[in-house]
Amino acid sequence: MGMAPTVQIEGGAADRALGNAAACSLHTAPPASAEEPPSASAGSSKSKPRTTRSKRNSCKAKVAKPKKVSKRSPTIRCTPNLIVSAVKILTDGQKNIIKQLGFGEVLKLSINALETRNLPMFLLDNTSAFSLVIEVGTQGGLKITPHAVHCVLGIPIGGRDPPVFSYAQRREELLKLKELLGVRKKKKITYDVLYERIKLKGEDELTIRCFILIVFNRLLFPTTATYITGRDAAWTSDLGNLPNVDCCKVLVDDLRDAIVAWKSKKLAGGTLSISSYTLFYIVIHRPVLSLFFFCFNQRT
């Protein structure tokens, strides 16, 4: 039986042959698969085109109602019960020193907690940050002044503004305070640290400063922080100068900042927090409401 003749194709001719074969394979339609759904024309004229699951899900996603955002109560850090607890362990000697610094009225505090957030929220909503007038009643409202704050709280109303501290200075004062209290640099100064120092019954400056720190951080100028801040450390770095500082004016200025922050966050839909303004729940609490009105009328 004779051998089949071998066909030899030159290099150029071979390349052209392969190119033609590739072109044919690109333009030739693949055979129909048995799994492919029939076209709309192949079925009955009344049959509807099939909708894939992904399309159905996308349609549902378009008409899905937005989820309701749950309303959370605003964060609040004003905790007068901690001041009441600290007062209970003070000795008579410690109380006398605190009175000399101008914070004797704080020792009489008897309110353990804020009964509701509604009143502080109402006051924030209805107080002008520009005029600091609480818009209640029909007589022009109540104007928040340093004198009214002093009448109710009895904190120092000296003639000097507090010294201004830069961020670096506040941080430095905080580190100094940590060193004095034996707290490591990376740790926080908590209420428990200050409370334990007061329990030692010392009448030294650092022990008295621990009580003033609690008053500033938890009553007069509370923030969302649960620990002593650089501002607290800086403001209490010179206890001897505190009686000369107009703490009432500082509080009023802090209230103004709290009002601005509250209204801007509420407008932007951010997380709400009630800071120093909660103190005025105590200020206008029923036992002292008449005194507040008296002081207000005396100055107008």
Q: What residue segments make up the domains of the chain, in order of their start?
A: 75-298
Residue type, 155: I
Question: What confidence category does residue 2 fall into, taking pLDDT thresholds of 50, 70 and 90?
Answer: very low
* Phi, psi of 213, rounded to the nearest 5 degrees: -60, -40
Across 179-192, average pLDDT: 95
Least confident of 134-143, 168-177, 260-269: 134-143
Query: Would the pLDDT of 173 be above 70?
Result: yes
Query: Would the pLDDT of 180 be above 80?
Result: yes
Question: What confidence category does residue 150 fall into, taking pLDDT thresholds of 50, 70 and 90?
Answer: confident
How many percent of the chain have pLDDT more than 90? 31
Residue, of 163 and 94, whose pLDDT is higher? 94
> What pLDDT, on a 0 to 100 scale, did the predictor assign at position 275?
61
Nearest Cα residue to 189 out of 166, 167, 214, 164: 214
Q: What is the pLDDT of residues 16-35, one digit of tens each?
A: 443 444 443 334 444 444 44
> What pLDDT, on a 0 to 100 scale, did the predictor assign at position 228?
95
**What mean pLDDT is reported for the chain?**
74
Question: What confidence category does residue 230 fall into, taking pLDDT thresholds of 50, 70 and 90?
Answer: very high
Are 233 and 176 contacting, i.e. CB atoms less than 8 angstroms apart? yes
Query: Would the pLDDT of 260 be above 70?
Result: yes
Residue, of 194 and 121, whose pLDDT is higher? 194
Question: What confidence category does residue 9 fall into, taking pLDDT thresholds of 50, 70 and 90?
Answer: very low
> What pLDDT, on a 0 to 100 scale, did the predictor assign at position 134?
77
Across 160-168, average pLDDT: 90
Least confident of 174-183, 212-221, 252-261, 262-271: 262-271
Strand partners, 160: 245
> What pLDDT, on a 0 to 100 scale, did the predictor assign at position 7?
40
> What pLDDT, on a 0 to 100 scale, did the predictor assign at position 138?
62
> What pLDDT, on a 0 to 100 scale, did the predictor assign at position 130?
83
Q: What is the pLDDT of residues 188-227, one digit of tens each?
A: 999 999 999 999 999 999 999 999 999 998 888 887 778 9
- Token pair 């839909």 is at which residue? 269
230 Cβ contact list (under 8 Å, min separation 6): 165, 167, 170, 171, 173, 174
**Residue 106 CB burial class (10 angstroms; 0-12, 13-18, ≥19):** buried
